[in-house]
Every structure is written in C-alpha cells, then in structure tokens.
Amino acid sequence: MHTVVVGTSGVTASDVLAVARDGARIELSGEAVAALAAAREIVDALAAKPEPVYGVSTGFGALASRHISPELRAQLQRNIVRSHAAGMGPHVEREVVRALMFLRLKTVCSGHTGVRPEVAQTMADILNAGITPVVHEYGSLGCSGDLAPLSHCALTLMGEGDAEGPDGVVRPAGELLAAHGITPVELREKEGLALLNGTDGMLGMLVMALADLETLYKSADVTAALSLEALLGTDKVLAPELHAIRPHPGQGASAANMLAVLKGSELTGHHQDDAPRVQDAYSVRCAPQVAGAGRDTLAHAWTVAERELASAVDNPVVLPDGRVESNGNFHGAPVAYVLDFLAIAAADLGSIAERRTDRLLDKNRSHGLPPFLADDAGVDSGLMIAQYTQAALVSEMKRLAVPASADSIPSSAMQEDHVSMGWSAARKLRTAVNNLARIVAIELYAATRAIELRAGLTPAPASQAVIAAVRAAGVQGPGPDRFLAPDLEAADAFVRAGGVVTAVEPVTGPLA
C-alpha cells in the first residue's frame, strides 16, 4: 500500500487524494516529530508563566479575556472540543472526512501549532486504522476554521462521539479505538484549539473537486467533438491559428482536444450540403471558448489550492523565534472564492452541453437525424426525457452557482463578525461536480447514438473508439424504446471513471 510521509513543509494534492480516496498509510517524518517537540516546549514554557496567553491559558473567541488556572486547562481543552462538536444533518462522505483529518495533521506537523508529537501520531493511527469520525453536513461558517467538522474529528481522538469503522459500521469512537489498540488522547494546553482552527474541510473538497473537474473538462471536450460530428458541423473553427489570436491557454487546449478527436472524420464539413449553414450554432462553434474559460478557472483554483497546501493554518501560531501570536489566517476567503468560481464555470459547461444535446434531438436543427433519435418516432419517444433530466440538472447547477462566499452571518457575540462560508461553497460544489458528470454522460449518450444513426459516413477513429468503449461498458446503442435509466447510470459511471479519456487517448495521444 502506498505510504504518504508527512513532514513540516506541507503536502501535495496527490498526497491528499491518496489518503482520502485510496486509503494510503501515513507516516510522520523525523523532521516533523522534532518540530512538534520543539514547538511544544515553547507552549509548555508559556503555560508555566503567570501572564495569560491566548489559546494556552485563556478562553476562546468572545471568552478570550478570561485567564484559566492551570488545574482547569485540560478541562478547557476537552470542553472546547465537546462544545464545538455541534454539527447537524447528514453524515459527510468518508473521503471528505479523511481529507479533513489528513490536512489538519499536515498543519499540526508544521511545528507551528504547539501540539505534542503523540497527538499527531494518534491522528495518523486513526487514519491508518480506517476509522472515520462522524462529521455532519452543517456546522461550519468557514472562519476560525471548519470548527464543527474538525471538532467531531477531535472528539474521536479523545475516544468520544461516534465514528465509522473500516467495515462502514458506525460505533462509539472509544470502542473502535480500543479494537485497534489506539489510546485516546488526553488534551493539554493549546491542543484542543489547534485541532479545530483550519480550512482543512473546504481545502480537501477543493482538491478533490479539481481532480474530478480535470477529467470532466477533458471528457466534455470529447463529447462536444462527438456532437459537432453528429451534427455534420465544421471543424475549421478549431484551427490552431484561430485560437492563437485570442491566446487564452484553456481555449487553445480545448480546441486542440476537439480537433484531435475529429481527425479523420467523414462526418465533419457537411454543413454546406442539403441545408447550407454559414456557421454552426454557438453551442457547437464556441465550445472551446466556454470550456477553455473553465479550464483557466481550474488553473487559478489550483494555484490557490497549492498555496493553501503549503500553509500552516492555526490561531494562535508558534513562530520560530518562540513567540505565540494571534492571527487571522484561518479565514477561508481565498478558498471560498475559488470554490464558488468553479461552481459558476461548471454550471456554464453543463449548460452548453445541454444545448448541444437538445440540438441533436430536434429534427428541425439536427440536419437529418430522426426526432429525439427515436427508432420509430411517435411510437418511440427516444431520448426526449433524457434531455429533460439533463435540463433539470443544469437548472440545479445554476442555483448552485450562486456564491456562498458573498454571504456572512456574524457569530461568537460579534467577535467573529465576518465569515467566509467556504464549507458551504465546497459542499455545493461537490453537488455541482456530480451533476456535471451526469450532464456530460447524457451528451455522450445522445452523441454516440446520433453518430451511429449517420449511415454511410464513417466517424473519426477516436469517435469509433469512444463508441466501442461505451457500448462495452453496458450503454446500449440505437433501437426501440427501453428502460432508459440503467443506460444513463452506466454512461454516468463510465464518465466518472474517466472512460471517455481512456478510450480516446490511444488514438489521439494525451489530451491537454
């Protein structure tokens, strides 16, 4: 099994995906253990002094003015975890919780939090055992960290609350830790607070969304090319020299992908035949411009994610010169903005894909294809309602594109008077990404059927490869009406697994 070594200088997106999705094991580097111990010495020295230090010997948030006596500090750390574990709603997905915990461990190991090495090791042990704390949908405002989600994770470290075992069964966390020989943590000064103050949940969801969207954008370039081909459109609009004079990188990459897919097609270029068209519709002709803008948005979001992965987010932080200083680095605005930006880009990509599907089904605009791609139109409805489903998904994506980060509700008696809502932005982006996969799957289903209905014309070799792969995956081709939902589910699974990209790349070479 792959092992991820956590040091003091951050982790990579690949590390996050390996731990969150693939169950990679975690080890702490010697450098990280040394940094943890050094920072802890600073916290212990401050804890022994009579002067109050925020997070070490005081209350939190609006209660920070109270100096806490030494005999109450362990209770203070337990209490903050218990009281902040106040989430409600459905359980958050296992991969999100694993990413959340792993990213918190990344910051803990930076040596800027003052947490003891044994606490960090226990976090790694819990992840390695496949124990997943129960985290709820609602509770984070994306400021002072993802407080409630991280608190539910910290509760598991203490052997309290509920967690899911490697078998998927939810049990009391204490029982699961005991079953795996893990000793619950007794928190000391600063540690409860350090486990809660981070943008880890929203960052983990951003990294996973970016990974998924990279595959979906490549897949959408392929389905757009298939739709252009099925509509007998022209590929001249994809010429590199046209995109060089508007040099947005994403646009050029999308056009190049589409052109590679269409190479060798006998279907393109018939737009001047029986019903001459001067130009193809925007949804076909402007596909690289829309998908390309989304690709450039992904590139910007990756920059933000990589900066955040290299960050140590906590409050207060232990600095190399021994100071423990309060700060506002836990504010989720940088991550929240790009989460919302990605939801906008994804909604627009879904929207243009739906317009191409609708064009394939409309006999007045499909240039010779049967109505709704039906076998016997009138007796058969064909893909009429598949487009309804696609339209419903697009409509929801437009609602999900409304930015969460533009909202703020003050909390903690106005101490935390401006929050990012980054967790909410991340949660709705996950839904948007799932919807986009379904939308691309429906365009794939319609376009492959339409191409097969173009008798007498040979599609591009890359198109043939996609059609063969999708049929092998259990997605049926043209024919009389049948129970459609299983076909659409199979197409969705094919898209999510990267099947579209895997099918074309042996023919086209690696897509951009």
Residue for token digits 């990404």? Answer: 433
Which candidate in 54, 138, 282, 445 is catalytic? 54
What's the N-to-C CA distance of the chain in angstroms? 30
Contact 98, 149 (CB under 8 A): no
Task: Name residue 366's amino acid.
Answer: S
Task: Name residue 451's amino acid.
Answer: I
CA-to-CA separations, 364 to 275, 282, 358, 405, 474, in angstroms, rounded? 11, 16, 11, 43, 30
In angstroms, how far is CA 78 from the centroid of its own chain? 32
Hey, what are 288's tokens? 């690289």
Residue for token digits 């092992």? Answer: 3
- SS3 labels along 366-388: CCCCCHHHCCCECCECCCHHHHH
Question: Nearest to residue 230, comparing CAs of 451, 466, 383, 452?
Answer: 451
Hey, what are 375's tokens? 């076998």
Hey, what are 255's tokens? 């056009």
The whole-angstrom separation of Cα 361 and Cα 58 is 66
The whole-angstrom separation of Cα 330 and Cα 344 is 25
Contact 195, 104 (CB under 8 A): yes
Hey, what are 484's tokens? 């459609």
Determine how β-strand 88-91 pairs with β-strand 3-6: unpaired
Hey, what are 252's tokens? 């050029």
Contact 218, 179 (CB under 8 A): no
Question: Nearest to residue 484, comparing CAs of 433, 446, 440?
Answer: 446
Question: Nearest to residue 2, comparing CAs of 30, 22, 31?
Answer: 22
The whole-angstrom separation of Cα 192 and Cα 427 is 25
Give yes or no: 54 in active site: yes
The whole-angstrom separation of Cα 452 and Cα 464 is 9
Helix (H) or strand (E) holding 164: strand 162-164
Residues belonging to the active site:
54
